[in-house]
């Protein structure tokens, strides 16, 4: 039996995260994933950036960006530290 698309390369975006096929395959398994909010002051964006900034693991491996860094870049952050700062700023503006 094949693994779901969200676990395979065909369901992952080259710039980090899942593509539409990956989100559809996750939804078929009962997950409720929403498309990313990559700009603006949306609270989901702040939450994502804060969560990802706290993840363990390197930003680069063998000189290449990891999927963690690719996702951060896609959501508008250049590093874990930048993601943490942006999450804090977005949250402050939303109060």
- Predicted TM-score (pTM) of this structure: 0.75
| Cα–Cα dist 90/95, whole Å | 9
List alpha helices for 1-95, DSSP H: 20-28, 43-53, 67-74, 80-93
| Residue 73 near residue 16, CB atoms below 8 Å | yes
For the CA atoms of 22, 26, 27, 30, the dihedral, rounded to the nearest 10 degrees, stands at 180
- Over residues 40-95, the pLDDT tens digits come to 999 999 999 999 999 999 999 999 999 999 999 989 999 999 999 999 999 999 98
């Amino acid at each position: 039996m094949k693994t779901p698309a969200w676990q395979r390369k065909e369901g992952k975006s080259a710039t980090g995260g899942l593509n539409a096929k990956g989100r559809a395959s996750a939804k078929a398994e009962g997950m409720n994933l929403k498309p990313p909010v990559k700009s603006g002051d949306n609270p989901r964006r702040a939450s994502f950036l804060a969560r990802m900034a706290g993840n363990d693991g390197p930003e680069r491996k063998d000189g290449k960006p990891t999927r963690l860094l690719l996702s951060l870049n896609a959501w508008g952050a250049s590093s874990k530290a930048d993601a943490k700062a942006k999450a804090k700023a977005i949250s402050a503006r939303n109060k």
